Amino acid sequence: MIKSIITALVLLNGIFMYAQEQPNVLLIMVDDMNDWVGAFGGHPQAITPNMDKLAQKSTVFKNAYCSAALCNPSRTSMLTGYQPFKTGVYGNKEVFREMKGFENTVTLPQYFAQNGYKTAASGKIFHSPRGTAKEPKEGSDPGSFQIENKVGLGTPYPEKRFTHGIDFKRAGVKGSKTRSFDWGAVDIADEKTNDWKTADYTVKFLEKEHDKPFFLACGIFRPHLPLYAPKKYFDLFNEEEIQLPKVLENDLKDVGRVGKNWAGERLHAEILRNNKWKSAVKGYLASLAFADACVGHVLDNLEKSNYKENTIVVLMGDHGWHLGEKEHWSKQTLWEESAKTPLIIFDPRNGKSGVSLRTISLIDVYPTLIDLCDLPKKNDLDGNSFEHLVENPKGKWNHSALTTKGLGNHTLRDENYRYIVYTDGFEELYNEKKDPMEWNNIAKDPKNKEILKKFRKELKELVN
């Protein structure tokens, strides 16, 4: 279906020809953003007015899932169009262009550049395996963007860390997480933070005249750890009134050895020992509110620009984040809190506002944007275009969302169930309609034999 609207008739050498206007793309990625955004209903106290305002006029995908619940494999998968088990990028240290067979991969922005687009980025879009928690570097893939703004990430660290009395050794926390697992208010103006500078670069790009359609990417680092944000966002929340996530005592009793090891329950126990659960949740909500303000700075100025009528906006996280659910504090699981992330698409030309409950994957974004912008098909991608769902949120969709962690650990999510299988063969099955918090693993119930059979067959077809 031809999406671009015929905008003018041009007289050339006595012959009328049609001139076509290509839509621009504004991609906004928010790091470690779970479904606590107001429009997604994940937490009743979330303050995200700017994202919520965008959602009101957009297609809201309430069941969108990452290909891997970790920054590098998730972003690599979305931006290359290939599953982690194809590229071999499972962790944060691999670089996809160093993997055999993927040296010359045409990424999403490169594909747009090949088709006449100007491409630009600011902030974390690709994940950089280099850098430290204290001095993180923005993700970069040389050659993917024609213009790339080099700034730091998030909010500068305070002179003294907070730490909140947590004994990381007793909590079983090692490596970089001992430096990054922290939260607190920083006495700094929004404009002095790196995230705001990232957003402001995007704003300045929108203020300029461009002679080509553009693919513009803006990466906001918060609410990624450490949860440092300007003080005014922490002041929005009263810690005593913070509502904690719903949890079930002994929730890990039916998840199997691998899932239990991933959960890191010792850290959760340490947070409870120090009575810091509400404080940490406040830190996440404050960081999310700050991220929303940065997003709002971009969206408000898009509305003032010459491009508001012809710019497709894609707002997404790269994966979710646990805040005590399943006794876990991070991403990197195959459960709902890690795998699920907000996805909002606004197409000012012919998109429809509404909510879609179809279980789409972030790997589907690449082929979808190709179709929305009427670019030539790219037939080697693993994802499926959901272009029709942007027009009709309740349209048909016959695909489950696949999320992978490491070699051989997978989960499939359809609109009714989540199926998980680990390398040791242990399986989990959850009825998402009756058990949205995934408290009751029903894989061993004989009544679910056919459901398991269906998922096993589907998974085999996808990964083999």
Residue type, 179: R
- Separation of CA 414 from chain center: 18
User: Is 71 designated active site?
Assistant: yes
d(C-alpha 442, C-alpha 345), whole Å: 34
Which segments within 132-290 are labelled E, that is strand?
147-149, 183-186, 214-220, 227-230
Structure-token match 């079930």, residue found: 248
d(C-alpha 232, C-alpha 237), whole Å: 10
- Catalytic residue, from 43, 66, 71, 218: name it: 71
Secondary structure of residue 148 in the 3-state scheme: strand
Which segments within 104-211 are labelled E, that is strand?
118-123, 147-149, 183-186
DSSP code of residue 131: B
Task: Name the packing angle between helices 277-304 and 194-207 (round to 10°).
Answer: 10
d(C-alpha 199, C-alpha 218), whole Å: 7
Kindly calculate the radius of gyration of the chain based on its CA atoms and give it in whole angstroms: 22
- Quick check: 417 and 436 in contact, CB under 8 A? no
Residue type, 332: Q
- Catalytic residue, from 43, 66, 127, 373: name it: 127
Secondary structure of residue 173 in the 3-state scheme: coil
- Separation of CA 124 from chain center: 12
d(C-alpha 410, C-alpha 402), whole Å: 7
Closest to 68 in 3D by CA, of 302, 338, 300, 276: 338
d(C-alpha 386, C-alpha 408), whole Å: 27
Q: Which residues are catalytic?
A: 71, 127
